[in-house]
């Protein structure tokens, strides 16, 4: 280890210190530690060093012993001793305040502080337009505390400057990497980072203060899933994206009109490959510049909040791509990913898996989650591909994976990370939601960590989705043989806090649109889809519907073009849209549909064994019995007349929703108010008799 340089006590600026002498420091060690005071450090002594770097050649050339200050880089740090302790232990959850690029005023000069984690580097410099991409021009200082952090202050470099890090690794590789903590990036296919800030004068205090009233597990949550680049495009220029601000004038009012409580965006972090839909991320802290600046995205989120709509963001801590400028092989070593590709490579997506056992990597990921919640006022994170994180043998054949220390298939490091992530999120933002896309039977995904769970707020109910779509694809004449596909979900519906998803994955890659999954002629297809939505909205759990499904998009989702909005010129599609609007309205107005979504006492089967007629009848309960709602579903095109079922107590039951109504493009068979009769049925003393329309769902409430 190089000896520490004696401190020269002086108040003079660095450039004016003349005759300071010190022993040369090795490249791998640091110069004298500066004492840190907020964004200003005490002046530090100039030293002479000798560095071996590469400059546009494969042969290392020695730079003459030169004053470091002559490089134009000054020693400066945002890291305190406590920051270092937290970073090494993996508990620093706001690394974005320290690492990356930050415009600061240092000793009266405005410039940018750069800091990057590259522990296996021999040499790191900042390259950009400001120095003609010269990798010998602005070398950074490596810290003395074995953090592996390189840092320095470059005067007169400010917002808008494109840059990368040049890294000469201990393996001899020369690398040019984007900043993992960059707040903005160049628009693909260019790959440089851009010095930027996240300053924004937010005007959503009322929403943020009362968000808990909209985001709780006992509140309605109806989510509209959106792929930003293909929701809509300019009719005049269909190849051009709408910007964040363009969308603010279009999508916010639409989501409000439809009655959704939340919008969920597929990943909006910077990603080089557009067809990855945002799931192959290289810039975790940078809102993709395809649609505007970070501040433009903040404006869009603010507009949603102003209209009472929450914003959920897809988040991808499961894997990252191998692009040369990205996280892979960052400093010539497997810094962010596992070195053993049996744990570090994802065979399905040809991407790399984070090393969840490395403290600094855990801090990077949790800091990223906190970043989006804090800086962008995001109301929830939907965590992608959790199943792939939980199991070491996920999508691997025998011999292609390594068992854990107990000989099992569970990824203990990933499990520990997910628990820590959820604890950190809810400790800092108790009024948000974390939602796991998890497709296995892993126990306790949405249970608190103190009971052994992973700590998520909710989990996608993939079993419900698969069983339901499989059932609805059956011709009605065969449905009596598959009746249990619809009733089975309630066996496990309350083992987790489930969200019912009909997501983008179900309408792409040859799976057909939802409307074309439905059997029968055109009328039956639309009637089936209306039942599907009615069943979904009255089933326990929160809801998620992918864009275009709310008006029965006929084509599979194509991320390269706009949704087919012209379909709304036709009555059947208008009928589907009105159905979703009506269901969202009822969902928000009727406590029985949301107050006890995750409580078995909120649901009761009345008729679940009438497979012959393919009829279901169930009760949804609120906290107050007067809010109870009865749901009746006929899954065949044959009307069921004079159908009797039991009801609780005496009273009159009013039809409050009927998917067969004319306004929804149904046949118009409805029911008048139905007084209960003192006639026993289905283990109840009272009952009512109704006419169930063909392929329809009807809801009743006591008056």
Q: Give me the active site residues, please.
A: 384, 437
145: tokens are 């505390």
**458: enclosing H helix or E strand:** strand 458-460
Cβ neighbours for 534, distance < 8 A, ≥ 6 positions apart: 579, 583, 631, 633, 657, 659, 697, 699
Alpha carbons 184 and 192: distance in angstroms, whole number: 9
Determine contact, residues 595/218, Cβ cutoff 8 Å: yes
Q: Phi, psi at residue 403, to the nearest 5°? A: -70, 160
Closest CA to 415 of 371, 447, 381, 373: 447
Alpha carbons 549 and 529: distance in angstroms, whole number: 10
Alpha carbons 197 and 158: distance in angstroms, whole number: 10
Cβ neighbours for 262, distance < 8 A, ≥ 6 positions apart: 221, 222, 223, 224, 309, 310, 311, 312, 379, 380
Residue 193, SS3? Answer: strand
Alpha carbons 486 and 467: distance in angstroms, whole number: 7
Cβ neighbours for 560, distance < 8 A, ≥ 6 positions apart: 230, 275
CA distances from 390 to 152, 384, 406, 686 (A): 39, 12, 15, 49
CA distances from 148 to 50, 117, 163, 170, 172 (A): 19, 6, 20, 13, 17
Determine contact, residues 629/654, Cβ cutoff 8 Å: no
- DSSP, residue by residue, 365-400: HHHHHHHHHHHS---EEEETTHHHHHBTTTT--TTS
- DSSP, residue by residue, 623-691: SSGGG-EEEEEE-SSS-EEEEEEEESSS-EEEEEEETTSGGGTS-------EE-BS--BTTBSEEEEEE
Closest CA to 158 of 82, 104, 122: 104
Determine contact, residues 380/262, Cβ cutoff 8 Å: yes
Q: Phi, psi at residue 276, to the nearest 5°? A: -75, -5
CA distances from 45 to 35, 137, 389 (A): 12, 20, 48
């Amino acid at each position: 280890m190089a000896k520490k340089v004696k401190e020269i006590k002086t108040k003079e600026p660095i450039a004016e210190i003349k005759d300071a002498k010190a022993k040369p420091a090795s490249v791998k060690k640091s110069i004298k530690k500066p004492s840190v005071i907020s964004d200003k450090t005490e002046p530090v002594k100039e030293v002479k060093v000798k560095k071996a770097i590469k400059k546009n050649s494969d042969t290392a050339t020695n730079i003459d012993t030169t004053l470091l200050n002559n490089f134009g880089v000054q020693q400066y740090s945002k890291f305190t001793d406590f920051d270092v302790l937290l970073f090494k232990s993996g508990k620093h959850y706001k690394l974005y305040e320290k690492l990356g690029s930050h415009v600061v005023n240092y000793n009266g000069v405005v410039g940018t502080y750069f800091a990057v984690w590259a522990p296996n580097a021999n040499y790191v410099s900042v390259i950009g337009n400001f120095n003609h991409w010269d990798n010998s021009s602005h070398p950074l200082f490596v810290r003395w505390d074995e953090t592996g952090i390189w840092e320095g202050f470059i005067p007169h470099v400010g917002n808008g400057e494109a840059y990368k890090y040049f890294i000469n690794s201990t393996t001899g590789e020369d690398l040019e990497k984007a900043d993992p903590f960059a707040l903005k990036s160049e628009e693909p296919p260019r790959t440089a980072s851009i010095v930027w800030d996240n300053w924004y004068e937010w005007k959503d205090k009322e929403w943020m203060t009362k968000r808990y009233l909209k985001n709780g597990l006992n509140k309605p949550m109806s989510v509209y899933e959106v792929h930003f680049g293909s929701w809509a495009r300019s009719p005049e220029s269909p190849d051009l994206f709408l910007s964040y601000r363009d969308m603010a004038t279009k999508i916010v009012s639409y989501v409000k009109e439809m009655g959704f409580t939340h919008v969920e965006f597929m990943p909006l972090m910077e990603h080089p490959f557009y067809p990855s839909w945002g799931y192959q991320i290289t810039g975790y802290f940078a809102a993709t510049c395809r649609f505007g600046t970070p501040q433009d995205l903040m404006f869009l989120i603010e507009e949603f909040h102003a209209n009472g709509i929450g914003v959920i963001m897809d988040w991808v801590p499961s894997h990252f791509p191998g692009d040369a400028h990205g996280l892979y092989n960052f400093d010539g070593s497997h810094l962010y990913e596992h070195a053993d590709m049996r744990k570090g490579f994802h065979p399905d997506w040809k991407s790399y898996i984070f090393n969840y056992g490395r403290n600094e990597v855990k801090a990077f990921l949790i800091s990223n989650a906190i970043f989006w919640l804090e800086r962008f006022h995001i109301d929830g994170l939907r965590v992608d591909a959790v199943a792939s994180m939980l199991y070491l043998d996920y999508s691997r054949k025998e011999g292609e994976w390594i068992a854990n220390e107990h000989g099992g298939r569970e990824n203990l490091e990933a499990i520990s990370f997910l628990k820590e992530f959820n604890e950190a999120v809810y400790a800092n933002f108790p009024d948000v939601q974390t939602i796991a896309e998890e497709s296995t039977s892993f126990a306790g995904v949405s249970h608190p960590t103190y009971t052994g769970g992973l700590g998520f707020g909710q989990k996608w109910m993939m079993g419900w989705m698969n069983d339901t779509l499989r059932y609805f694809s059956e011709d009605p004449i065969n449905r009596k043989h598959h009746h249990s596909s619809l009733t089975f979900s309630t066996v496990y519906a309350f083992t987790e806090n489930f969200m019912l998803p009909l997501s983008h994955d179900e309408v792409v890659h040859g799976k057909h649109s939802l409307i074309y999954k439905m059997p029968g002629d055109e009328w039956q297809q639309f009637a089936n889809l209306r039942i599907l939505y009615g069943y979904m909205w009255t089933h326990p759990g929160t809801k998620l519907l992918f864009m275009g499904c709310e008006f029965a998009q006929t084509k599979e989702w194509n991320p390269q073009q706009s949704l087919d909005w012209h379909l709304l010129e036709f009555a059947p599609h208008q009928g589907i849209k009105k159905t979703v609007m009506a269901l969202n309205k009822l969902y928000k107005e009727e406590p029985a549909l949301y107050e006890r979504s995750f409580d078995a006492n909120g649901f009761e089967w009345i008729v679940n064994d009438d497979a012959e007629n393919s009829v279901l009848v169930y009760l949804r309960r609120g906290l107050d019995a007067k809010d109870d709602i009865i749901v009746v579903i006929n899954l065949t095109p044959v009307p069921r007349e004079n159908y009797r079922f039991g009801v609780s107590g005496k009273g009159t039951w009013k039809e409050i929703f009927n998917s067969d109504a004319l306004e929804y493009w149904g046949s118009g068979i409805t029911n008048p108010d139905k007084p209960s009769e003192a006639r026993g049925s289905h283990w109840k003393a009272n009952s009512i008799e109704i006419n169930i329309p063909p392929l329809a769902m009807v809801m009743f409430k006591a008056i």
